[in-house]
Copies of this chain bind each other. A is one copy, B any other.
Amino acid sequence: MTDHRIALIPGDGIGVEVLPPATAVLDRVGARHGLTFTYDEFDWSCERYLNEGAMMPDDGLDRIRHHDAILLGAVGWPGVPDHISLWGLLIPIRRQFDQYVNLRPIKVMPGVPSPLRAAVPGLEFVVVRENVEGEYSEVGGRFRRGFPDEMAVQESVFTRPGVNRILDYAFELATTRRGVLTSATKSNGIVHTMPFWDELVAEAGERHPSVSWHQEHIDALVAKIVLDPARYDVIVGSNLFGDILSDLAAAVAGSIGIAPAGNLNPERTYPSMFEPVHGSAPDIAGRGVANPLGAIWSAAMMLDHLGHPEAAAEVVAAMADVLGNTPVRTADLGGTADTAT
């Protein structure tokens, strides 16, 4: 028996509702593969912020540093500004645990309608997003606050090591798939950082000669993803472009409500974090109607990361089975998926 110690951070809103079905699936599939899971739950959330003045305790990161992985529900609640909830919990975890890969598998699931005429079941690709530098930067600020000539400046910071490692991850992933890669750029408009990105992509291409790569400007790329999604396999982008592309791609696949994300530290120096892409959904929270498939799919990604690809594949197959072969579409889906697994 292998035991994994998992930090659970349900967070806010439906985050609290979707983690129990996910851990139930983990326990069930674990039993078939000789795996057990020990869960430590942390109440870090907007509620905690409102009661205690901080999203997590000062030593929060130390408390989860030695877990094998982190499973997160959702973060954010009306009344708590995003810069507090996100920059007080989600983003510090990503950054301090050097989770520099944000991995978003996109799949058209059977039975889940895509808004695109062209998207067919089986359509599948993956967005690899840089997750700790780039456009999401605390460098910058305001100048002449409140005056008519006020301005805000925001620095994007791209480093050679930071870009190289995400590119190497993406190119290596491409070698295990169809051997093709698309880089998102905007070097015709963003004059300093994006040409640098392009240069490093070309160098990475030389390091991975078996991968056939090309680049597209982000404006053209979002258009082509809508017009012809099947042409893509691995798409790599900066923090901001990867964020935009992964949500767009999930929408194109009809799966925005069930899509998973992995925040990976590939070197395993720190724990990686897995989270459904959906938010805390204040409008439906507390009513038990949230779809747990995003959390379950995220748990499957976690299994894969922990070295159990067969168990992970079983969970995804069970999800596809439930979606394709049963009419179940709401909260009770959690129970059904359990059984199917």
Contacts and interface: CB of A to CB of B under 8 A. Distances in A.
A193 B160 CA distance: 25
Given A156-B153, A248-B222, A227 B115 contact: yes
A83 B196 CA distance: 13
Contact of A190 (B136, B188, B219, B247): B136
A192 B226 contact: no
Contacts of A151: 157-160
Interface stretch (A23-31, A54-62, A140-148, A285-293): A140-148
Nearest to A144: B160
A104 to B, nearest CB: 11
A244 B226 contact: no
A189 B156 contact: no
A87 interface: yes
Interface stretch (A5-13, A250-258, A332-340): A250-258
A206 interface: no
> Copy number of this protein in the oligomer?
2
A341 to B, nearest CB: 28
Contacts of A220: 247
A9 B157 CA distance: 36
A222 B195 contact: no
Contacts of A157: 151-153
Interface string A195-233: 111000000000000000000001110111011000000
A17 to B, nearest CB: 21
Contacts of A240: 186, 189-190
A222 B222 contact: yes
A137 B194 CA distance: 12
Contacts of A136: 189-191
Interface of A: 76, 82-83, 86-87, 115-118, 135-138, 140-142, 147-161, 186-197, 218-220, 222-224, 226-227, 239-240, 243-244, 246-248, 250-252, 256
20 contacts: A115-B117, A115-B226, A136-B189, A140-B156, A140-B193, A149-B161, A150-B159, A150-B196, A152-B158, A152-B196, A153-B158, A153-B192, A154-B158, A155-B155, A156-B156, A189-B239, A219-B243, A219-B247, A227-B251, A227-B256
